[in-house]
Amino acid sequence: SQQGEEDPQALSIQEGENATMNCSYKTSINNLQWYRQNSGRGLVHLILIRSNEREKHSGRLRVTLDTSKKSSSLLITASRAADTASYFCATDSYGQNFVFGPGTRLSVLP
């Protein structure tokens, strides 16, 4: 069962620009997490935001959560070529297994 759905599926930007990815989900959550995956490698945890939080920052990452709209966004500021990867949101909900969305493929062009 897919809970989180990222949007867009793919995104290409120039180095230095900001990248925004969105995640929508269906049922109430305990927390929502964002992960990065470089091609064929393991996922790396980026940030966790709890259901009672609205915004979190970590370095060049900014995550927002709107529980009324059941959506979250991940903003990467001043993107670099090394940010090229797939980004996944994952939701933790009561009574459900931890569920990953299908991901957004980000390409940062030099």
Residue 25 binding another protein, by CB under 8 A: no
User: Minimum CB separation from another protein for residue 5, in Å?
Assistant: 10
CA distances from 100 to 3, 25, 27, 79 (A): 7, 10, 14, 24
Nearer to another protein, 2 or 12 (CB): 2
Nearer to another protein, 1 or 14 (CB): 1
Return the half-sphere exposure (C-beta side, CA atoms, 13 A cut-off) of residue 56.
18
Determine phi and psi for 82, rounding to 5 degrees. -70, -10
Residue 59 binding another protein, by CB under 8 A: no
Residues forming contacts to another protein in the complex (CB under 8 A) are 1-2, 30-31, 33, 35, 40-46, 48, 88, 90, 92, 97-103
